[in-house]
Every structure is written in C-alpha cells, then in structure tokens.
Amino acid sequence: MNGRALFAWNLRRIRVSKGLSQEKLAADAGVDRAYFAKLERQTANAGIDMLDKLASALSVEISEFFVMPPEGAVPPPTLKGGRKKGS
C-alpha cells in the first residue's frame, strides 16, 4: 500500500470510528469539505500542516495516519449519507 492510500485508509477509519461526517471533520479541522473528500479518495496530497490539523481535530497522533492495516482487512465503511435530524 502506498503512502497516499495508507493515509486515506486510516483517515476514513478514524473518522468513521468517531462517527464524524466528512463535512463535520472538515469544519472542525478548518478545511474545505471537497478537499477533504479528495484526501479520502486519494486524489489530493496532504502536507504536514494538514496532517497536524486533521490529527488535532480527530484527537489522535499523526502516526495514526500511517498504521498498516492487518492483512486481509476490508476497507473502512462509509457513514450513512444525509443529514441527521436536527441538523
């Protein structure tokens, strides 16, 4: 797995495990939601400053973005689309 794919895998894994939408995490990190989506789709690269912002918004260490998944692991699921009630 290359670096961009590994980062995207872990970004989604952490975000989904915390129950955060792309929109919410992007807002918390102060980044554009469309750019955030590109990071998860591996069509954009994140610099160190972006890694810092995302790690801070997720309350994790940057190293969490580079944890190798176990062999045979399935990709992290996506969250159900749409807005939650009261949003």
Token look-up 């872990």 returns: 10
Residue 55 placed within a domain = no
Quote the number of domains for the chain: 1
Is residue 10 a contact partner of residue 47, using CB atoms and an 8 Å limit? no
The DSSP call for residue 43 is: S
Token reading at 35: 């750019």
> Residue 12 pLDDT > 60, yes or no?
yes
Token look-up 């554009």 returns: 32
pLDDT in tens, 26-38: 999 999 999 999 9
Residue 3 placed within a domain = yes
Residue 8 placed within a domain = yes
38-35-30 Cα angle (round to 5): 140
pLDDT in tens, 39-78: 999 999 999 999 999 999 999 999 999 999 988 888 777 7
Q: Find the domain containing 7 and state its range.
A: 1-28
Cβ atoms < 10 Å from Cβ of 10: 19
